[in-house]
């Protein structure tokens, strides 16, 4: 039994290696896959035949002749399944369906208002069934949360027929649709992009402060995320008392007028707790507000504690939906 299980594990790993190789190098032939993976040609041929039979791979149809021999490329079968990317915002929620070739098939607006809990859950389930009916089978879902929202903000009272429980949206969708559900936050893409554009070891010690209807904070120290309470910003405001940043009179008329003040308190407290080199700030589109915030921080913090503050624009590039869909596809195929 142990030997049989070991052989099954080897086969599963080899299948994943082949799939990953094709994901990274679309259009490779069987011979080229064997050369890149160092698997035997017979192993590659056998496993590729299985993957084609299961509908995961397909022959691309690109035939060339090299030394008198034909070459047939392999690619992920676009019709293997559909990936649904659901963008959830406070003003609008939408969904884009991709095939396995990451081609967007349809985009629809789910609601032009804030949805939460069971209402959002039921809207997503209905939209998925409508979009995929008679077309591609649903293979996975991605939940892309916008602005300052977290997945934990959305809970569903879900019934299995035997018992009911208050669970997360992700758990409810996984149980109802029986497909992998991946969650991500749009601001994290912004931070990752900023880090990629300016590689700097110092940014291993950084924080991200997102200002919206509330202030959401994340901290990374030595490249690792530091767990913080969801209401950390409220604790920071209470601890520091009087706001370190006072909004201008005209700002006080805005619903979120006190949020820059709260953000200033949060950043000050973070810099007292951690040795941060960079603080990414999103949600404040006005550079002047950021400048005033920096001025106040400079008056509060010692010079060696003052971080570099980098403003991140909240508008996310359209192609990030495709990037997210690519990640979901990889997770789906890794389980095959």
Tokens found for residue 221: 């120290």
At residue 289, does pLDDT exceed 70? no
The Cα angle at residue 153 between residues 148 and 158, in degrees rounded to 5: 150
* Averaged pLDDT, 201-223: 71
Please tell me the predicted confidence (pLDDT) of residue 53.
93
Look at the block and give the residue holding tokens 């192609």. Answer: 319
* Averaged pLDDT, 216-231: 72
3-class state of residue 50 by DSSP: helix
| d(C-alpha 43, C-alpha 45), whole Å | 5
Please tell me the predicted confidence (pLDDT) of residue 10.
86
**Whole-prediction pTM:** 0.66
Burial of 306: CB neighbours in 10 Å, binned 0-12, 13-18, 19+: middle
Spatial contact of 215 and 262, defined as CB atoms under 8 Å apart: yes
Reported confidence tier of residue 254, pLDDT bands at 50, 70, 90: very low
At residue 249, does pLDDT exceed 50? yes
Structural domains present in the chain: 2-76 (1.10.10.10), 80-179 (3.30.420.40), 188-312 (3.30.420.40)
* Averaged pLDDT, 81-90: 89
The Cα angle at residue 321 between residues 318 and 326, in degrees rounded to 5: 135
Q: Quick count: other Cβ atoms within 10 Å of Cβ 327?
A: 15
| d(C-alpha 25, C-alpha 75), whole Å | 9
pLDDT tens readout for residues 136-171: 999 999 988 876 566 666 777 776 666 667 888 888
Pick 92 or 201 by higher pLDDT.
92
Spatial contact of 104 and 83, defined as CB atoms under 8 Å apart: no
Spatial contact of 219 and 207, defined as CB atoms under 8 Å apart: yes
What whole-number percentage of the chain has pLDDT above 90?
22
Please tell me the predicted confidence (pLDDT) of residue 98.
94
Pick 156 or 194 by higher pLDDT.
156
At residue 80, does pLDDT exceed 90? yes
Burial of 227: CB neighbours in 10 Å, binned 0-12, 13-18, 19+: exposed
pLDDT tens readout for residues 298-334: 888 888 888 888 777 655 555 678 878 888 998 899 8
At residue 245, does pLDDT exceed 50? no
């Amino acid at each position: 039994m142990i030997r049989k299980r070991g052989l099954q594990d080897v086969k599963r790993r080899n299948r994943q290696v082949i799939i990953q190789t094709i994901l990274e190098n679309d259009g490779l032939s069987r011979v080229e896959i064997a050369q890149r993976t160092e698997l035997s040609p017979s192993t590659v041929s056998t496993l590729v035949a299985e993957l084609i039979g299961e509908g995961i791979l397909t022959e691309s149809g690109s035939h060339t002749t090299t030394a008198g021999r034909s070459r047939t490329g392999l690619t992920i079968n676009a019709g293997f399944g559909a990936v649904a990317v659901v963008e959830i915002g406070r003003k609008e929620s939408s969904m884009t369906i991709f095939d396995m070739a990451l081609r967007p098939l349809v985009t629809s607006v789910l609601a032009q208002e804030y949805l939460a809990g069971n209402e959002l859950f039921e809207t997503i389930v209905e939209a998925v069934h409508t979009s995929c009916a008679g077309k591609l089978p649903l293979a996975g879902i991605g939940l892309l949360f916008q602005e300052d929202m977290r997945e934990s903000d959305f809970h569903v009272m879900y019934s299995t027929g035997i018992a009911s429980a208050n669970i997360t949206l992700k758990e409810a969708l996984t149980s109802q649709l029986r497909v992998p559900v991946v969650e991500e936050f749009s601001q994290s893409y912004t931070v990752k992009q900023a880090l990629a554009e300016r590689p700097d070891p110092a940014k291993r010690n950084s924080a991200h402060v997102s200002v919206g209807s509330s202030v959401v904070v994340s901290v990374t120290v030595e490249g690792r995320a530091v767990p913080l309470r969801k209401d950390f910003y409220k604790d920071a405001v209470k601890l520091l008392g009087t706001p370190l940043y006072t909004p201008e009179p005209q700002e006080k008329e805005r619903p979120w007028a006190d949020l820059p003040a709260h953000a200033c308190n949060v950043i000050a407290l973070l810099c007292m707790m951690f040795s941060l080199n960079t603080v990414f700030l999103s949600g404040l589109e006005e550079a002047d507000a950021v400048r005033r915030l920096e001025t106040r921080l400079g008056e509060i913090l010692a010079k060696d504690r003052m971080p570099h503050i980098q403003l991140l624009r909240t508008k996310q590039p359209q192609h990030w939906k495709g990037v997210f869909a690519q990640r979901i596809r990889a997770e789906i195929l890794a389980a095959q």
